[in-house]
Amino acid sequence: MFLLRRLLSTAAAAARGPPPIRVDVTESAGRGVFATRPVPAGELLHSAQPLVCHPSPSLLNEVCYSCLRRKSGEGRVSSGGSYFCSDACRDHPKGFHDVEKNADWSLFDDHCSSRGLKYPYMAKRLACMLISGAANADCLNILQPARLHKGTLIEMEEEFELLESTFTKAGFQKEVTTFLTKEWYINVLARIRINAFRIELVASSYEDLLSSAAASVSCDASVGNAVYMLPSFYNHDCDPNTHIIWLENVDAKLKALRDIEEGEELRICYIDTSMDVNARQNILANGFGFECQCLRCLSGD
């Protein structure tokens, strides 16, 4: 029975073919994602695994350190105290997790915690991935960077010095940390700041939905943050035709919200669509560096 289900799944995937999308240049927003055929509402356009992700610091013992799945039942705990939901998730990040366990992150973590910072944790993980050989130093360079203000740059320099000193104190040799320069760190943070997605897992059943709704009253619904390649190419619209969801873990799924025509640009909403136009414009200008010119904003809705 298992083999039959697997064969049917493989056949269905083959029948669907490649994702019905292409990346191209837009008239006014740089790169964008476009439909290569008509797409019906509700269709799964594609899935994506993160380039780098990290759990919310407050939930380190509640979600998987690898895939960000919420804890349920028995998981696997490493010698470093991190929680993993399965053997696969424990083995997958073994290289960079071993690097991380060999350093004392207390000063770095205290700095980030006292200032409410979340993105430096992702830069730290990426640095550990580079040292372990699990990633390339320029893996985020294709993504658009955020505009950085002087105060932000000063803060980043402080974070970099803590990161560098932590690796130095842990005894990592210069030959494995040659990538670790102030310029590299600022470059990485500038891209993470504007491309990171806040991961909020969607319940897989009605019962789970009721439980998660009750839990969200008393805690942050976000389980962490992640940066992706293809999802980062989607431009914003306050009345989007596509949305991004996370069902059980950090793997992103892009679905059509309504029927989409061939050649139409696929857009997601970067923020809460329920806000009024002034609030949306303010957040998009200050957080993402652009003035939204979508039809909804132009109409004043």
Residue ranges covered by each domain of the chain: 1-72+79-270, 276-300
Give the lowest-confidence range in 47-51, 71-75, 153-157: 71-75
**Which CATH number is 1-72+79-270 given?**
2.170.270.10
pLDDT score at 75: 60
Residue 147: its pLDDT value, please?
Answer: 85
* pLDDT tens digits along 1-32: 333 233 233 334 434 578 999 999 988 778 99
Q: Is the pLDDT of residue 61 over 90?
A: no
Q: What is the mean pLDDT of the chain?
A: 86
Residue 125 has what pLDDT?
A: 97
| Best-predicted range by mean pLDDT (68-82, 91-105, 113-127) | 113-127
Q: Determine the Cα angle at 278 with ends 275 and 282, to 5°.
A: 95
pLDDT category of residue 80 using cuts at 50, 70 and 90: low
Task: Give the chain's count of helices (H) and strands (E).
Answer: 10, 12
Both tokens of 200, joined, read 């909020």
What is the average per-residue pLDDT within 182-209? 82
Residue ranges of alpha helices (H) inside the chain are 2-16, 87-91, 94-101, 106-115, 119-132, 150-169, 182-195, 206-216, 277-283, 295-298
Mean per-residue pLDDT for 238-251? 94
- Residue 299, pLDDT > 60, answer yes
Phi/psi class of residue 223: alpha, beta or left (left: φ > 0; alpha: ψ in -120 to 50)?
Answer: alpha
User: Which pLDDT belongs to residue 15?
Assistant: 47
Q: Which of 11-25, 42-56, 270-284 is predicted with the least confidence, judged by mean pLDDT?
A: 11-25
What is the distance between the terminal CA atoms of the chain, rounded to a whole angstrom?
Answer: 53
Q: In 3D, which of 238, 241, 298 has the Cα closest to residue 265? A: 241
d(CA 61, CA 70) in angstroms, rounded, equals 9
Contact 224, 63 (CB under 8 A): yes
